[in-house]
């Protein structure tokens, strides 16, 4: 990106809302989409988006539909749980679709997440090995 000052560009609130319901973002935000779908909290981000997308329907159900509140509340809860079930069931596919819309080849998200997991595992293993050798050196003394 031209003029990048080291900070990743983020979508505006309106762009983010559109992105949350499945819309594409401008090309200059493709780096943010990659971050959004591959960072440590990518799954949590998707779940939060799903809850935010269904929340207006839940509000309408709770406020405007006549009937006993407990029935409306259980209906809202059932809708929320079904939404989360589908959201979690298609978590990886949704993230990959977002990346493809941002211009990345299919499989990019899984590859980046796998690479980061391997790097994290290697670093953790090296740290444990170093700690073990320090303990062994301390015992010899």
CB-CB neighbours of 60 under 10 Å: 11
88-125 core/surface letters (b: 16 or more CB in 10 A; e: else): eeeeeebbbebbbebebeeebbeebbeeeeeeeeeeee
> Position of tokens 């990345």?
104
Distance CA 106, CA 99 (A): 7
What does the alpha-carbon distance between residue 123 and residue 137 come to, in Å, rounded to a whole number? 21
The mean pLDDT value for 25-47 works out to 92
Token pair 């059932």: residue? 78
% pLDDT > 90, the chain: 62
- Whether residue 137 has pLDDT greater than 80: no
pLDDT, tens digit (0-9, with 9 covering 90-100), for 37-78: 999 899 999 999 999 999 999 999 999 999 999 999 999 999
- Token pair for residue 125? 């293993």
Terminal Cα-to-Cα distance of the chain (whole angstroms):
55
Mean pLDDT within 122-132: 75
> What was the pLDDT predicted at 5?
47
């Amino acid at each position: 990106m031209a003029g990048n000052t080291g900070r990743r560009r983020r979508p505006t609130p309106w762009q983010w809302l559109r992105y949350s319901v499945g819309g594409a973002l401008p090309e200059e935000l493709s780096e943010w989409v990659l971050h959004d779908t591959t960072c440590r909290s990518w799954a949590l981000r998707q779940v939060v988006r799903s809850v935010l997308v269904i929340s207006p329907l839940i509000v309408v159900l709770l406020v405007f539909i006549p009937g006993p509140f407990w029935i409306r509340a259980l209906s809202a809860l059932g809708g929320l749980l079904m939404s989360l079930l589908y959201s979690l069931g298609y978590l990886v596919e949704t993230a990959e679709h977002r990346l493809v819309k941002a211009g990345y080849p299919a499989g990019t998200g899984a590859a980046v997440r796998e690479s980061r997991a391997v790097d994290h595992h290697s670093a953790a293993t090296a740290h444990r090995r170093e700690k073990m050798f320090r303990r062994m050196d301390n015992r010899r003394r």
